[in-house]
Amino acid sequence: MKAIRACIFDLDGVIVDTASHHFVAWRRLADELGIPFSAEDNEALKGVSRVDSLEYILNKGGLILDAGTKVRLMDRKNTHYLELAGATTPADALPGVVKLIDELKEEGIKVALGSSSKNAEMILTRLSLIDRFDVLVDGNHITLSKPDPEVFVMGAKALELAPEHCLVFEDAQSGIDAANAGGFSVIGIGRADALKGSAAVIPGFDGMTWEGIKALL
């Protein structure tokens, strides 16, 4: 195994749990369109871009809409999402993640964000974590959604590191697939039975040290 010199964190489900806000906002939109939207549907949209998420819902309802209407629907969903996620505070950082990031900085390991969300900067600012990141790549920079590796490849380039020197933390299957496709090491965050293809799956960072994480690789 090559030495890990940077960690690339996904945002939603790894640093903070905003999935519940995405769920509420997408379900409200789906209700308005008369399309059923379940928790399983929301699970399938983890790590998936805003536009691809809308396409998933429209496809489920068999709705074909013009481009302008789709933009309006995405704006409506995002406005509702921002009403919910805009209340994020530093206390919403998931257990152990800030401690781990601080330890990484002390060890000289670079810290980057690799998120599909166009709201990532706002959320990291609300968490008071933005200054701890050496590199930010989010939904505003990429053209291809996970499972395409673009978000992580851009992160590695900005870090000036080869993918094999970067470790990705991901809670979504699409993100784990993206990391693997780009040649990154990846650790899954969540349930081992739900995530496939990572070096290891951990429930979260609570109680985890950098030494403990490296031992999983």
- Judged by the rule CB under 6 A, the positions of this chain that interact with ligand B16 are 10-13, 22, 45-50, 53, 78, 115-119, 139, 172
Q: For Mg ion, how many residues bind (rule: CB under 5 A)?
A: 6
Q: What's the chain's length in residues?
A: 217
Could you give the angle at which helices 19-33 and 67-85 cross, rounded to 10 degrees? 140
Q: Which residues in 112-126 are b (16+ Cβ under 10 Å) and which e? A: bbbbbbbbbbebbeb
Which of ligand B16, Mg ion, none binds 118 (CB below 5-8 Å, type-dependent)? ligand B16
- Min dist. Cβ of residue 135 to ligand B16 (A): 15
Residue whose pair of structure tokens reads 């699970």 in the numeric block: 43
Q: Which of 172, 176, 179, 201 binds Mg ion (CB under 5 A)?
A: 172
The DSSP-derived string for 88-139 is --GGGBPTTHHHHHHHHHHTT-EEEEE-S-TTHHHHHHHTT-GGG-SEEE-T
Please state, in angstroms and rounded to a whole number, the distance separating the CA atoms of residues 77 and 165. 37
> Considering CB distances under 5 to 8 angstroms, the limit depending on partner class, which of Mg ion, ligand B16, none binds residue 116?
ligand B16
- Catalytic residue selected from 12, 138, 171, 177: 12
Is residue 54 helix, strand or coil? helix
Among candidates 164, 46, 187, 170, which has minimal Cα distance to 113?
170
Tell me, yes or no, if 41 is annotated catalytic: no
Distance CA 159, CA 5 (A): 9
Min CB(53)–Mg ion separation in Å? 12
Rounded least distance, CB 1 to ligand B16, Å: 25
User: What is the closest distance, in whole angstroms, from the C-beta atom of residue 109 to ligand B16 in the complex?
Assistant: 20
* Using rule CB under 5 A, residue 12 touches Mg ion: yes
Q: Does 10 bind Mg ion (CB under 5 A)?
A: yes
> Considering the rule CB under 5 A, would residue 29 count as an interface residue with Mg ion?
no
**Considering only residues 6, 9, 13, 149, which one is a binding residue for Mg ion as defined by CB under 5 A?**
13
Residues that bind Mg ion (CB under 5 A): 10, 12-13, 47, 171-172
Would you please indicate which residues are annotated as catalytic (active-site) residues? Answer: 10, 12
